A and B are shown apart, each in its own frame.
Chain A
Amino acid sequence: MARLSFAARLHGGAAALLLAVGLYWGLLAVPADAFQGEVQRIMYLHVPSVSTAYLAILVTFCASILYLWKRDLRIDAVAHSSAEIGVVFLGITLATGAIWGKPTWGVWWTWDARLTVTAIVFTMYVGYLMVRAFAEEPQAGARYGAVLAVLGLPAIILNHFAVQWWRTLHQPSSLIRPGGPSVAPVILWPLVFNIVAMLVLYSYFLLERVRLERIRHRAAESRLKRGRRG
């Protein structure tokens, strides 16, 4: 147990260190963008947040499919944990996008395809967490949640392609696109570094959140045993 918490501390420390280096790189070391100026530095936060949210939703989707197949609550713990962290990163994506939108588009919010689909996905996952919170039986909550999570993946795919399928204010993807990234290396490397830093933070949050679910399950089992004895 002591060794595990040392590993967790090391993991958290590595995430904090990587985020600090990424913060310095994105905020101070990289030159300002020729067109947008300093405000473009929000990209080093916004793009890593949305990448992490996408990964969290993908993990939730895979764990939910596995749960529906195996009916193992340990797998559901991964889906539930990842969905919760995904909501945090989706919230950051929406907030930083609005803050970036004001100086570049002149509005905090517009009903653009990309923004609208992101808001819908965020609402869907808040709904997922509410279903989980209000379900009386853990198995029922896991089952309803898994069905919702399976519906969430097409929404993410739609979100990715929204900028290509519709005319939007939001710029097309500059990283994952045919022909490779369209950004200059001076911008690309700090961006990739910040994505990696955010993914390390996500993995730290995920392990800690799964640990919480495990302790809760063990406590529930212990309560059940006491009930049987009493």
Chain B
Amino acid sequence: MGSWGFVGLAYGVASVALIGYLLFLKGRLRGAREEFAALEREGGRRTR
């Protein structure tokens, strides 16, 4: 592997890690928001 190969590998690995973490975080945020909204809806129905 040439010099640019190592540079590409390093930046590639870091990009995958950072984009992967961002998507993982966004997915968990979406899931938590949906769960909370469902709980609130259910709670509202019970109160009525």
A3 within 8 A of B: no
Residues of B in contact, count (CB < 8 Å): 27
Shortest Cβ gap from B16 to chain A (Å): 10
- The number of chain A residues touching the other chain, given as a range, is 35 or more
Question: A223–B39 contact, CB under 8 A?
Answer: yes
CA of A158 to CA of B26, assembled, Å: 35
A219 within 8 A of B: yes
Interface residues of A in 50-85 (CB under 8 A from B): 85
Question: A100–B10 contact, CB under 8 A?
Answer: yes
Chain A 37-54 per-residue mask, 1 if CB under 8 angstroms from chain B, else 0: 111011001100100000
A27 within 8 A of B: yes
- A205 contact set on B, CB distance < 8 A: 21-22, 25
Chain A 83-114 per-residue mask, 1 if CB under 8 angstroms from chain B, else 0: 00100100110011001101100000000000
CA of A212 to CA of B30, assembled, Å: 9
CA of A39 to CA of B25, assembled, Å: 31
Question: B10–A42 contact, CB under 8 A?
Answer: yes
Question: B10–A211 contact, CB under 8 A?
Answer: no
Question: B28–A212 contact, CB under 8 A?
Answer: yes
A157 within 8 A of B: no
B10 touches which one: A46, A88, A216, A229 (CB < 8 A)? A46
CA of A201 to CA of B15, assembled, Å: 13
A177 within 8 A of B: no
- B14 contact set on A, CB distance < 8 A: 45, 49, 92, 95-96
Chain B 6-21 per-residue mask, 1 if CB under 8 angstroms from chain A, else 0: 1101110110011001
CA of A95 to CA of B12, assembled, Å: 11
- Output the residue of B9, B25, B46 with the most chain A CB within 10 A: B25
Question: A39–B43 contact, CB under 8 A?
Answer: no
CA of A95 to CA of B40, assembled, Å: 43
A176 within 8 A of B: no
Question: B43–A222 contact, CB under 8 A?
Answer: yes
Shortest Cβ gap from B46 to chain A (Å): 7
CA of A85 to CA of B39, assembled, Å: 29
Question: B17–A88 contact, CB under 8 A?
Answer: yes
CB<8 Å pairs between A and B, sample of 6 = A49-B14, A92-B14, A92-B17, A212-B29, A226-B43, A229-B46
List chain A positions with a Cβ less than 8 A from chain B: 23, 27, 37-39, 41-42, 45-46, 49, 85, 88, 91-92, 95-96, 99-100, 102-103, 201, 205, 208-209, 211-212, 215-216, 218-219, 222-223, 225-226, 229
| Smallest CB-CB A-B distances: 8 pairs | A38-B3, A215-B32, A222-B39, A99-B10, A219-B36, A39-B3, A96-B10, A42-B10
